[in-house]
């Protein structure tokens, strides 16, 4: 019997973090989890192509044109269908309600491109986070993987990794460095850690 934890990955965009998770699993390093579905909040997101290429089941639940309740119901239906035990938000640009996060307490992981509690919370997503870090003039930034609760970027921290800011950095250059040096490493490692502790019943 396959005893691995079923993992669903929620995405909205390019999906490089999803790719890092797929590669980690392909390399045999996700020993306690199995990616069973990719759910995109946006039609046409490149992340869907990554799921297709990896042979992973996928679905689109559009955020646009729906109430929060309808949107979350759509996602919950997909999660039930694929029997997801753990959810990873990998570049998922939508906020989830307390109703939703309470259903998966300590089972939703998010990757955020800064060292929380800096440059996080509502309005801080994607390139905006790096613009804010450069604008403030910090010399070190990084990425954080944390559990998701009803407070945007406010759940318990699982892993963090620092990344240096260099003279002449643009938001785009910094985003790439933070992804390469931090996000793509700590997101898969955190997923394995959480799945392993669930399997052990911790």
Q: Which of 111, 133, 145, 163 binds ligand GAR (CB under 6 A)?
A: 111
Q: Which of 13, 74, 142, 155 binds ligand GAR (CB under 6 A)?
A: 13
Query: Using the 8-state DSSP alphabet, how is residue 183 labeled?
Result: I
CB of 194 to ligand GAR, least distance (A): 17
* Complex with ligand GAR: residue 166 or 198, whichever CB lies closer: 166
Q: Cα angle vertex 55, ends 50, 60, to 5°?
A: 60
Residues 15-44 that bind ligand GAR (CB under 6 A): 15-17
Total site size for ligand GAR, rule CB under 6 A: 15
CA distance 134 to 140: 10
Q: Which of 14, 54, 82, 173 binds ligand GAR (CB under 6 A)?
A: 14
Q: Do the beta carbons of residue 9 and residue 18 sit within 8 Å?
A: yes
Query: Using the 8-state DSSP alphabet, how is residue 200 labeled?
Result: T
Strand order in the sheet with 5-11: 58-60, 33-40, 5-11, 86-89, 108-112, 140-147, 157-164
- Beta strand extents in 14-139 (DSSP E only): 33-40, 58-60, 86-89, 108-112
Q: Which of 125, 188, 191, 195 binds ligand GAR (CB under 6 A)?
A: 125
Tokens representing 19 are 């790719």
Q: Verify whether residue 146 is a known catalytic residue.
A: no
Q: Which of 113, 142, 155, 188 binds ligand GAR (CB under 6 A)?
A: 113
CB of 102 to ligand GAR, least distance (A): 20
Find, among 104, 111, 52, the residue nearest to 75 by Cα: 104
Residues 70-99 that bind ligand GAR (CB under 6 A): 90-91
* Complex with ligand GAR: residue 78 or 183, whichever CB lies closer: 183
The verdict on whether omega for the bond into residue 150 sits within 30 degrees of 0, i.e. cis, is no
Q: Do the beta carbons of residue 196 and residue 32 sit within 8 Å?
A: yes
Catalytic residue among 42, 63, 107, 112: 112
Binding segment toward ligand GAR, per CB under 6 A, in 25-33, 122-130, 163-171, 189-197: 122-130
Residues 140-179 that bind ligand GAR (CB under 6 A): 179
Active site residues: 112
Would you tell me which residues interact with ligand GAR (CB under 6 A)? 13-17, 90-91, 111-113, 125-126, 129, 179, 183
């Amino acid at each position: 019997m396959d005893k691995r934890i079923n993992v669903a990955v929620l995405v909205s965009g390019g999906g490089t973090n999803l790719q890092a998770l797929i590669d980690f699993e392909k390399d045999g390093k996700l020993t306690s989890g199995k990616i069973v579905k990719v759910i995109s909040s946006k039609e046409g997101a490149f992340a869907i192509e990554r799921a297709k290429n990896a042979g992973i089941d996928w679905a689109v639940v559009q955020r646009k044109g729906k109430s929060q309740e309808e949107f979350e119901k759509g996602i919950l239906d997909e999660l039930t269908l694929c029997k997801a035990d753990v959810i990873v938000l990998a570049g998922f640009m939508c906020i989830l309600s307390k109703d939703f996060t309470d259903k998966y307490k300590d089972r939703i992981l998010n990757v955020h491109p800064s060292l929380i509690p800096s440059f996080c919370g509502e309005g801080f997503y994607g390139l905006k986070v790096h613009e804010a870090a450069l604008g403030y003039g910090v010399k070190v930034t990084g990425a954080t993987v944390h559990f998701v609760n009803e407070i945007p970027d406010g759940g318990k921290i699982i892993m963090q990794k620092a990344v240096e800011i260099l003279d002449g950095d643009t938001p785009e250059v910094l985003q790439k460095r933070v992804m390469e040096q931090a996000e793509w490493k700590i997101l898969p490692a955190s997923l394995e850690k959480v799945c392993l502790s669930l399997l052990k019943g911790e």
